[in-house]
Chains A and B, each alone.
Chain A
């Protein structure tokens, strides 16, 4: 079973989101997502200062199997992107919840993060997908 920290929120498109003390939301992809994608070869980080709606495609991860969009889990402005991923895309595989973070968003309404799934709900969703 993949690793699912309980202090994070999860989107059905397999991003995680965390509201930090400075009011920004850090976003990455889940352990399950990185495992399904396989070894990453390229990460296209989002453009800074762009406004995004929840669900907007704003970054791309490319693995040996596939290229996938990363969707903004909340609306806001992208204020930071993980520059290390340009040279070290493998960080997303080795440390998806830590050094493999993808972007930071200044949310319009920080509380809306609570509309995302809890670790428990996300785990149920994965289990249901597994049964298909």
Chain B
């Protein structure tokens, strides 16, 4: 396969793409002379066609939902229907200026307001703000709201956030960012949080607990109501990490489980683009008691129509997380998706996501793979452990993950959650056909046969991709991310 050069190395001095350049000199307005650059920036000097070919070739090397099955556990890599994209790109939405008058933004504000309401209803909370620009910012907002709540009550002794050991790494990170000390809770043999340990951990220092349900172990936390009672009785609040909301959408609501605040990754459950360099969306929902602290901007409605709520309307808000609704396009895509599904469709999302995961799990178990919680029903994802294969064949979960790439499948999440040795966390999502799932099973079975017959073939995978096995240690230790001219 042809090796790609960096786009900088494809250029020649003086080459330009004039068709794309501004036709007139740029007016720098009243910028002072000392602020204007005197030397041109170092940019690739390439033709328009070179740019098109360079990026088209790179895009063809990507694994993506549009080309491959992508069972990346805990990430919900489902297909994003094209309609969301098409409708969010309508000129009325695309050309709306952030400063446009409220009277001229009623359509967009209505979409924001309706999405707030739909997310509120499907999560069972009292109100929703769409303003966080990513899941991480949503988490930060949620814990900041917990902090604001305790402070407003003069309850300053609450310095700890409890986090189960199966949690996403972002949970303890968020708690620390908000100034809390993290206290870890163990998991019992069945995959539930150890209730006795929870009882011993709660007290006057407990600000709250951060939880994903279903957990990252791919099982539903069965005693969640008891957990909520224990935490609430101790004066703490419950934070729901919405990473795994796809499993319970429309079936079971975090608000009914006793959660006080939740973030929803719209890019997972509500089918907006994953990554891609643009803003994400970490919508946040609050129970009655945390409602006053929701971040702004939010859309509100009064007798004159829709409008943005401000500090005047929400004096206790933790504040603005962005100057404008900077993720307008992302929110519109989620809105279209939610409207296309309706309440009934959301239930089907959860049902088929769970059915697909249980089908895969049952078939893989029948093929002799070690399912980590065989006695439990899978949620939308499940874990297999390749501990046996690692021991007997010296072929690790990472080797199998890399070999899957040769078979045309994106690898599942490997080595997470940390509690399970040599694990793969597999999340098929609801948008895959049975044929696709069967193909994936056949690939895993074939790879295990290869591991027995010719383990080196698996250990040295991938073989058929533009790059071979990457040196992860060197990549982490010798970061070299900036191109500089020779």
Q: In the complex the two chains form, is B421's CB within 8 Å of A36's CB?
A: yes
On whether A39 and B473 interact (CB within 8 A), knowing A65-B415, A66-B415, A66-B418, the answer reads yes
- Tell me whether chain B's interface is mostly helix, strand or loop, or mixed: loop
Q: Chain B: which residue is nearest A132 at the CB level?
A: B189
Q: Chain B: which residue is nearest A62 at the CB level?
A: B476
B392 CB within 8 Å of chain A: no
A112 CB within 8 Å of chain B: no
A41 CB within 8 Å of chain B: yes
Q: In the complex the two chains form, is A41's CB within 8 Å of B473's CB?
A: yes
Q: Interface size for chain A: under 10, 10 to 19, 20 to 34, or 35 or more residues?
A: 10 to 19
A1 CB within 8 Å of chain B: no
Q: In the complex the two chains form, is B476's CB within 8 Å of A41's CB?
A: yes
How many positions in chain B have a CB within 8 Å of any CB in the partner chain? 10
Bound CA–CA A65/B189 (angstroms): 23
Q: In the complex the two chains form, is B477's CB within 8 Å of A41's CB?
A: yes
Bound CA–CA A64/B477 (angstroms): 10
Chain A residues whose C-beta falls within 8 Å of the C-beta of B473 in the assembled complex: 39, 41, 64, 90
Chain B residues whose C-beta falls within 8 Å of the C-beta of A39 in the assembled complex: 472-473
Q: Which of A44-65 contact B (CB under 8 A)?
A: 62, 64-65
B278 CB within 8 Å of chain A: no
Using an 8 Å CB-CB cutoff, how does the interface string of B411-436 with A read, 1 for contact, 0 for none? 00001101001000000000000000
Q: Chain A: which residue is nearest B181 at the CB level?
A: A57
Using an 8 Å CB-CB cutoff, how does the interface string of A108-120 with B read, 1 for contact, 0 for none? 0000000000000
Chain A residues whose C-beta falls within 8 Å of the C-beta of B421 in the assembled complex: 36
Bound CA–CA A132/B416 (angstroms): 18
A125 CB within 8 Å of chain B: no
Bound CA–CA A62/B473 (angstroms): 11
Most B-side CB within 10 Å, residue of A39, A62, A89, A132: A39
Bound CA–CA A97/B418 (angstroms): 24
CB contact between B476 and one of A36, A42, A66, A132 (< 8 Å): that residue: A42
A127 CB within 8 Å of chain B: no
Chain A residues whose C-beta falls within 8 Å of the C-beta of B169 in the assembled complex: 67
Q: Which of A15-50 contact B (CB under 8 A)?
A: 36, 39, 41-42
Q: In the complex the two chains form, is A64's CB within 8 Å of B418's CB?
A: no
CB-defined A-B contacts under 8 Å, sample of 7: A36-B421, A41-B473, A42-B476, A62-B476, A64-B473, A66-B416, A66-B418
Q: Which residues of A contact B (CB under 8 A)?
A: 36, 39, 41-42, 62, 64-68, 89-90, 132
